Chain A
Amino acid sequence: MISKNQIAFKNLFRKKARTLLTLVGIMLSSWVLVSLLGFNRGYENALNHDIENMGYQLMVMAKGCPYEAATMMLQGGTGLRYIEQSMADSIMKEPEVAKVTPILMQAFFDPNKGTSGGIAGYFGVDPATFPAMKPFFRFRQGGWFRDPSAAEAVMGYEAAELEQREVGDMILVPEKNVQLKVVGIMERTGSQDDGTIFVPLKTLQKISGIDKITTIGIKVNKDADTAELENKLYKLQDVQVVSFSQVKQTIMKLISTARVMVLSIAVIAIIIAMVGVINTILMSVLERMQEIGILKTMGAMPWDIFRLVWTETLILCACGGIAGIGLAVTFARATDVLVRRILPYAPSGGLVAIDARLALLTLAIIVTVGLLSGLYPAWKAGRVRPLESIRREG
């Protein structure tokens, strides 16, 4: 026996090229849609992850200092401004504050990197307070330094890989030609820390000849009023307060315009694909008028014909949608790379996060829109009168 669904399915094979082209159209538009939705989620998740990885929620730095160590690297070590280390102690006294850690960022020029040299970045951190801020750091080899003025270093995963360093090896601070012993190499964190070299604060201060710091990392008490604390900190002289929730908001605002634009593109892509669907199904109905008439002579009710044509639409949209989602998942990494090239700031980690729920949502959208598009052709098919259609040939 044959069922109505089988009839609908087989009808799609009549004009294979046409069915395939329509499928490709749906596939591409669902690929775009699910990637965009995945990106929306992924970006925010990755941003949150990056911020969580910082370990502290607020940073106090000298006015004029850029946010990221990476940006600092690009601009070179000069132009950094400093704050007094005593400020860290006074901030610690605030009731909202759980922990503080003083950090000194320095960069040195290494003329032997490539043809025109490069910057090597170092973080001077307090071994008593910094590791506690980042309890999720895992070590590939070794561990943190204990002595605050030891000539030692802990390297991020990629920094160690580039220098082919293992625990026990020496590194050389360029410009100053000071040797440090590697005591720890970290596992990948997926953040900027992977490319950082950590040195005890006092050691870096001695190497640089500075007794100040550039940043204070602040961890806020669990239920404290962050806004209140921020207000207090704003009042401090010559410093700027960087709140990561603010940073996140700024970045999200920056890309929200991009998101809206890109989502509009996705919507347009879907509309175009659906127009293709309407065209395909309508054309196939018009080509099959006589056949539809015959089906009616066999006892097919108008609703049966409607259902038949609508089922064809459903199959097209479902298959195209699933194929598009499958492709999106497969090429999620490639899409990741593409997106990173375009955006101004891209957090580390997977940018395009497509999970089952998102996939189902996209499929539901595609199928729903498809079914709506299929209403007219299906209705038209249902209304065919056998006599008119059979007589069409003359």
Chain B
Amino acid sequence: MAILIDKNTRLLVQGITGTEAQRSLSLMKSSGTVITCGVTPGKGGQSVEGIPVYNTVAEALKKHPETNASFVSVPPFAAKDAVIEAVFNGIKLVVCITENVPVRDAALMARYAQVHGVVLVGPGSVGVIAPGIGRIGPIGGLDTMASEIYQPGTVGVVSTSGGMTNEVAWIVRQAGYGHSTVLSIGGEKILGTTFADILQRFEQDAQTKAVVLFGELGGHYENQIAALIKEKKFTKPLIAFIAGTFTESLPKGIQFGHAAALLNEKETYPTYKKRALRDAGVHVVDALIDIPNKLREVL
């Protein structure tokens, strides 16, 4: 199984002629993802690595009606337009890796996707990988490294941070476990898909026996997990690491790393989040190196 992607995923790549998208193409294909078409406005009629390019999503889908997912890799100013174009044309899964998207645009695309029943991962995701099935986005990097880090297995990994997604997946692998699905939801303030959304999917996924989560200061997405567990909507073992405690002793109002990493209310502090998660029964680790032992304990 796995979540979000399966053998029937047929992928459109928006921004296919850009460097960011192009370096992901061969990786996605060699991981098993079937790419049907690409879109870059003004570049219709070209082809990239044998994949036909169209000017609009509508044209692309007319020629490739089996397409059901989109990988959006466009500059920040074009992200809202690209995501809404995909959703309007009936794509059901959109993974947007664009970072530094204006929060107004992120809120619009998240709401638009939600209203249309579309799963939007990101903006600011590094992608989704289901080892043995496929991947959307540059997650995992080159095949030599990806094959060393990723292997089909029972642990789900979800992270705000793209880099830490890979790091945590590697820790899981070094501990002797494989992965069901690994993804980053992005570090932006407004997200299409939250931790709570992903955990509900992992709950439904028979392959996933435990989940490791990397969270940060700022926002409320980690706190929503506690509510989810209390409502018994997520019942599998969850190991969580929350970064950024040091920021609590610095002046408020500073932006750290990701857009959402900003302290404003006490609920957004790492200390608060860790306590809320612990109270809900989550295995909160204070160091990443504690993850392997925790995994052995819960699996």
Are A and B bound to each other? Answer: no
A contacts, CB < 8 Å to B: none
